[in-house]
Amino acid sequence: MTVFEPMCDADTEAVIALWTTCGLTRPWNDPAADIALARRSRESDILLHRIAGTPVVTIMVGHDGHRGWVYYLATHPEHRRRGLAGAAMAAAEDWARVRGVPKMHLMVRRGNEGVIAFYEALGYEDGNILVMQKWLDPGREALYPGPPGRTG
Ligand SMILES: CC(C)(COP(=O)(O)OP(=O)(O)OC[C@H]1O[C@@H](n2cnc3c(N)ncnc32)[C@H](O)[C@@H]1OP(=O)(O)O)[C@@H](O)C(=O)NCCC(=O)NCCS
């Protein structure tokens, strides 16, 4: 069985390094701030799996009182295609299920469509939903390039 546990303070540097290696960080998503916010909430966690003590797989999971969401799914390149991300998704689903969450959602960035086959293999499907967004932090918005086609 692949064990996942909530990350602790001492994991922060290794988790940020893993996300950077896996290409998940963006200028407008300060990973340290994202970690702090997720860990401050009682309704979210960052779960990780270690090999020889080092975090090699992560997943951020939480719920907003209605739906469950996952973010920052990452497997270190040296440990891919061994079912670890599938195990991470199962751990996140279990996390949500025990909290009574009836449905999971996730977002895939345009340009990362290759990963859709991975999610489909786990039973996820296109929800026919358009995700809309609005920044509340002008500092972060300034770093965000905006959706394709936005001119202003
Ligand atoms: C996506 C990612 C987490 C998958 O990690 P992983 O541990 O290798 O995934 P698993 O071993 O659990 O994959 C299980 C199955 O999913 C499918 N799969 C996994 N990665 C895939 C990919 N990049 N493209 C297509 N199918 C993929 C395969 O069918 C695989 O089974 P197989 O190895 O028997 O063929 C990893 O490639 C990664 O960290 N990518 C960079 C970060 C990222 O894009 N995260 C997702 C953001 S939405």
Count structural domains, the chain: 1
pTM of the model: 0.94
What is the 114 CA–ligand 1 centroid distance (Å)?
A: 9
Residue 140 lies in a domain: no
Residue 41 lies in a domain: yes
Q: What CATH number is attached to the domain comprising 34?
A: 3.40.630.30
Distance, in Å, from the CA atom of 72 to the CA atom of 92, rounded to the nearest integer, reads: 12
Q: Indicate which atom in ligand 1 lies nearest the CA of residue 80.
A: 8
Q: What is the pLDDT of residues 86-128, one digit of tens each?
A: 999 999 999 999 999 999 999 999 999 999 999 999 999 999 9
Residue 132 lies in a domain: no
Residue 80 lies in a domain: yes
Residue 96 lies in a domain: yes
- What pairing do the DSSP bridges indicate for beta strands 54-63 and 44-51? antiparallel
Q: What share of the chain is helix, strand, coil (3-state, %, to 5)?
A: 35, 20, 45
Is the pLDDT at 152 greater than 70? The verdict is no
Residue 147 lies in a domain: no
Q: Which domain holds residue 58?
A: 5-127
Residue 149 lies in a domain: no
Instruction: State the sign of the Cα–Cα–Cα–Cα dihedral 56, 7, 71, 135.
Output: negative
What is the 38 CA–ligand 1 centroid distance (Å)?
A: 23
CB 39 within 8 A of CB 78: no
